[in-house]
Amino acid sequence: MSIQYPIDLHIHSTISDGLETPAELYARARREGITAIALCDHDTVAGVPLMQEVIRQEEALTPDSPPIRYLPSIELSTGDGGHAHLLGFGVNYQDEKLLSALEEMQEERAQRSRRMICLLKKQGIRFCTHVEEELTRPGTGRAHIARALLDMGAVNTMQQAFDRYLARGKCAYIARRYMSIADGVSLLTGAGATVVLAHPCRLNPDPQGLRALVMELMDAGLSGLEAYHPSASRQQAPLIDSMARSLGLLVTGGSDYHGDTNCCVRMGRMPSGWQDPESDLQALLERING
């Protein structure tokens, strides 16, 4: 069972593969009674100053409403196949080493999109020129291509786009190179971030294997686990929660909201069982500011 929380520490905007702009996300948070958000766009911090500006303007317009607390953040893809996602909360979006690593990733990603589009052409699928241009801009990825395939009617669902063309081993799949998880943790901590392993159940559903990995990453500077995420079952979420606490790690939660109105993910919606999100948020903020 999932429930609505007033805190959402994992949302995406149009700056990566979300469908809503930072301003639209802020407005949604207001409407839905969310009091704290973290914009965690994939492999980019370009949304951080945009969201800061949105908040500055909104607060000037509505000085009497309590401000929504905002954590500048990023979701970094690392590890084999890029499947290990790290949330870097409180990241310094001007850190030069981080920016150059991200730029390299974005360029590699655009090159990969170009190669995948060529492979789709061999399957008889051609995007119109302006869509192709959009899809080969730095920062685009498989989710963008899947959505374009859906929009042109080549598939009926995003999942079908992956199952037929884009998943590993399928005809239009190109592998990417990623930094190791430990290198990702170091890169983010170097940029002043407090690093949390995103949706750990997706990475390794076996609790013992996960615990071993987490302990290894703690040596690299990992600070917490995202226990409450839609990918965790009602049983798994409390297990991750207690694993984190037993290791002295922070606990976070986020919906991974991407703006898709045709799926069940909603801002603030996560598995039930998170006892005290506010005090866990305070602990995170103390770590970020400490």
Binding site for Zn ion (CB under 5 A): 75, 85, 198, 256
Question: What residue number has its CB nearest to Zn ion?
Answer: 85
Task: Transcribe 51-96 into DSSP letters.
Answer: HHHHHHHHHHH-TTSPPPEEEEEEEEEESGGG-EEEEEET--TT-H
Tell me the C-alpha distance between 8 and 16, whole Å: 18
Collapse the DSSP code of 42 into the 3-class scheme (helix H, G, I; strand E, B; otherwise coil) and give the result: strand
Closest CA to 203 of 189, 191, 217: 217
User: CB 271 → Zn ion: shortest distance, Å?
Assistant: 16
Nearer to Zn ion by C-beta: 85 or 112?
Answer: 85
User: CB 85 → Zn ion: shortest distance, Å?
Assistant: 4
- Token pair 């995420």 is at which residue? 229
Q: How far is CA 14 from CA 78, 92, 197, in A?
A: 21, 20, 23
User: CB 46 → Zn ion: shortest distance, Å?
Assistant: 16
User: CB 229 → Zn ion: shortest distance, Å?
Assistant: 8
Closest CA to 106 of 74, 153, 64, 154: 74
User: CB 83 → Zn ion: shortest distance, Å?
Assistant: 9
Nearer to Zn ion by C-beta: 57 or 233?
Answer: 233
Nearer to Zn ion by C-beta: 120 or 188?
Answer: 188
Nearer to Zn ion by C-beta: 8 or 75?
Answer: 75
Nearer to Zn ion by C-beta: 9 or 55?
Answer: 9
